[in-house]
């Protein structure tokens, strides 16, 4: 059994990818970055989700000698030419301040009518091997941005993105419903044939 490391300390993300691999009949031993506490965090200096995912995956593969998976994701707003994009987590200036990020984005879009509030969550997932081989896949969840946040599930911009075909925001969906359609879920599922090809 090949050990595979996922560049995250988020237990939910590890559980999600583990389930996707298991459903595909891949029994790799998936662990998170917590299994290697001495590995420093990687600076996300890329200008695309794919570049950031690759930076993290390669750094982990080099540090551990194991195949590594990493992802990077964010919200891309049509009328903002894809912003906040890779700056989604620090849109208001402080990394990870979900409320401030959300409030700033809503203020910036306050005069934009519903017809022009299209947006999508994007996720790039990368697999990097210690020998330098790499592959990136991507997933998207398209929708429309609400004027006010609704729902308490999820995090980040989930309370304002209403997926196409839905009457609820991502923050009103159950975790199972969200995983079934999410950008990360799509990217992780697209990673399955890559893992099968590169790791067997």
**Residue 18 is part of a domain; what is its CATH number?**
3.90.950.10
Active-site annotation holds for 72: yes
Predicted pLDDT at 179: 86
Predicted pLDDT at 172: 97
Question: Residues of the chain whose pLDDT is less than 50?
Answer: none
- Total structural domains within the chain: 1
- List pLDDT tens digits, range 123-142: 999 999 999 999 999 999 99
Predicted pLDDT at 194: 94
Closest residue by Cα to residue 149 from 103, 195, 91:
103
User: Helical H runs in 65-182?
Assistant: 98-108, 175-181
Range of the domain at 183: 3-199
The one catalytic residue in 72, 98, 158, 164 is 72
Predicted pLDDT at 41: 84
Torsion, Cα of 141, 178, 164, 194 (10° steps): 30
Pairing status of strand 29-32 against strand 3-6? parallel
Predicted pLDDT at 13: 87
């Amino acid at each position: 059994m090949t050990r595979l490391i996922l560049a995250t300390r988020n237990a939910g993300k590890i559980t999600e990818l583990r389930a996707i691999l298991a459903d595909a009949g891949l029994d790799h031993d998936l662990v998170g970055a917590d299994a290697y506490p001495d590995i420093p965090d990687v600076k996300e200096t890329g200008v695309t989700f794919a570049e950031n995912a690759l930076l993290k995956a390669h750094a982990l593969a080099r540090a551990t000698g194991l195949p590594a998976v990493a992802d990077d994701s964010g919200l891309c707003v049509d009328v903002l030419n894809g912003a906040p994009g890779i700056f989604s987590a620090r849109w208001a200036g402080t990394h990870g301040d979900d409320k401030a990020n959300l409030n700033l984005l809503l203020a910036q879009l306050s005069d934009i009518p519903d017809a022009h509030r299209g947006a999508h969550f994007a996720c790039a997932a990368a697999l990097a091997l210690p020998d330098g081989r790499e592959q990136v896949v991507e997933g998207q969840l398209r929708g429309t941005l609400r004027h006010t946040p609704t729902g308490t599930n999820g995090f980040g911009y989930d309370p304002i993105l209403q997926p196409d075909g839905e009457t609820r925001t991502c923050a009103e969906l159950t975790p199972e419903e969200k995983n079934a359609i999410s950008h990360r879920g799509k990217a992780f599922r697209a990673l399955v044939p890559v893992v099968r090809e590169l790791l067997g």
